[in-house]
Amino acid sequence: MRIYEWHANCCSPVAFASNDRVLLDGMDCAGGFVRNQRTLAAAVTCSGVGLHSGQPVTITLRPAPPNTGIVFVNQNGAAANPSVVASIKHCVPTELCTAISGNGFQVKTVEHVLAALSGLEVDNVYIDVTASEVPVMDGSAAPFVRLIQSVGVISQDRKQPFLKIMAPLEVSDGSRRVRIEPSTTSRITYSIQYDHPLIKTQTYMHDCSVSAFENQIADARTFGFLHEVQALWARGLGRGGTLDNTVVLSKDGIVNTSGLRFFNEFVRHKVLDLIGDFSLLGMSVIGHIVAERSGHALHTRLVQQILDQPEKWMLLNAEPSAEGTRALPTPRLQPAVALQAS
């Protein structure tokens, strides 16, 4: 075992061995941002309906080699089976969800399965999809987490690159904002405000780890207001939404008779969405994300902002390999839509 002292303001990126101990700005971070890439031990499959399309869909998560990233593969019967990497450069503005598009096909509502993979630190996976939307399952990331846990995760022989934030970045839209600032760990602080007695102001602080994601975030379900849900249906959206996959808020309570999973399930789900959206960065991030009344559009704008300003971060563990170091995505994101979603 070697011991490094690595200073954020003066040291160059260093590739550490997995058993090295790293003193980062005086803090012991061994086992935190120094790890190998990971994939699934075996393929897993689940089926459901798309939240917005209402269409039946099956996805299969398959192991993938190091430096693959998360790749969606179209299995809807097309002969060529086009694929698209879950990267910010393939992110497209859509209403009420995060979607990626490329090579002739689009897949919507990717954020919950991406959150499950990111939360469990699974870096390389092929996701076969039989339709253009990921199944909503119960509206949370928990079904995907259980699916992944059923086969397990294995370590691969490449280091996982980390992007360490060195200077703050922020994007905003009126009173909505999200920023990322330097930190010795990966953290999220999320605040939401709704004029509803069950929400009002909720703030949640999440220290990113596999166990914290599994126990505190994965089960939080998507939510919507009854009048908004009815308006969505009128516009042909949310066709797969039911009380089995969405927490629906009435004027002064919730419609679901099963109740809430956490009193602050709403803000926890926003953290879940942010984790999924931030995975479009293509690598783990070391920094403190602070979100206020934010949503998918601002999350993905900040991801693009980070990539547009490389002088504000540095890469750790970006080791060369036979396949070449996984490249950072660089193309600009298309203008974000104004609509926010949960």
Residues 266 and 111: their CA atoms lie apart, in Å, by 16
DSSP one-letter code for 183: -
Stretch that binds Zn ion, among 221-229, 246-254, 286-294, 331-339 (CB under 5 A): 221-229
Which 3 state secondary structure label does DSSP give 229? helix
Whichever of 138 and 319 has its CB closer to Zn ion, that residue is: 138
Name the residue among 121, 77, 80, 113 with its Cα closest to residue 97.
113
Q: How far is the CB of 116 from Zn ion (least distance, A)?
A: 12
Q: How far is the CB of 109 from Zn ion (least distance, A)?
A: 8
Q: How far is the CB of 151 from Zn ion (least distance, A)?
A: 24
Please name the residues in contact with 104: beta carbons below 8 A apart, sequence gap of 6 or more. Answer: 74, 82
Stretch that binds Zn ion, among 163-171, 270-278, 289-297, 318-326 (CB under 5 A): 270-278
**Binding to Zn ion in span 272-301, by CB under 5 A:** 273
Whichever of 66 and 224 has its CB closer to Zn ion, that residue is: 224
Q: How far is CA 124 from CA 15, 252, 261, 323, 337, in A?
A: 20, 43, 30, 14, 29
The answer to whether 222 contacts Zn ion (rule: CB under 5 A) is: yes
Whichever of 110 and 163 has its CB closer to Zn ion, that residue is: 110
Stretch that binds Zn ion, among 5-13, 60-68, 214-222, 313-321 (CB under 5 A): 214-222
How many helices (DSSP H) and strands (DSSP E) are in the chain?
Answer: 6, 23
Name the residue among 110, 156, 149 with its Cα closest to residue 129.
110
Enumerate the active-site residues: 296
**Binding to Zn ion in span 323-342, by CB under 5 A:** none
Binding residues with Zn ion: total (CB under 5 A): 2
Q: How far is the CB of 311 from Zn ion (least distance, A)?
A: 32
Name beta bridge partners: 206: 188
CB atoms within 10 A of CB 259: 10
Whichever of 89 and 270 has its CB closer to Zn ion, that residue is: 270
Stretch that binds Zn ion, among 167-175, 201-209, 215-223, 323-331 (CB under 5 A): 215-223
Identify whether the C-beta of residue 248 lies closer than 8 Å to the C-beta of residue 257.
no
- What residues make contact with Zn ion under the rule CB under 5 A? 222, 273
